[in-house]
Amino acid sequence: MGSTALNADGVKALATLPSLDELRAKLVGLIQAPATKIAQLSTAPAAKLARVFTAYADRDKAA
């Protein structure tokens, strides 16, 4: 590491670091996660409402 000599533990620690591509992928995933969760939350109430209407319609058909 430049002018710094690494001991065996330093070499092992350096070897276990993720690659640059892995770090980029993790960063993009962290950035996209909140947007995905917001999109899921915005569609969840409509889906629940649709299930309630379907349940009422099925109940009326059975009666």
The answer to whether the CB of 14 falls within 8 A of the CB of 6 is yes
| pLDDT of amino acid 36 | 79
| pLDDT of amino acid 63 | 63
List phi, psi (to 5°) of 16. -90, -5
| pLDDT of amino acid 24 | 94
Instruction: Give the residue extent of every domain in the chain.
Output: 18-62
| pLDDT of amino acid 19 | 92
CA 34 to chain centre: 8
Give per-residue pLDDT as tens, 7-61. Answer: 888 889 888 999 999 999 999 988 888 887 777 777 777 888 888 888 888 887 7
CA 19 to chain centre: 20
Q: What angle do CA 10, 16, 17 make, to 5 degrees?
A: 95
| pLDDT of amino acid 1 | 61
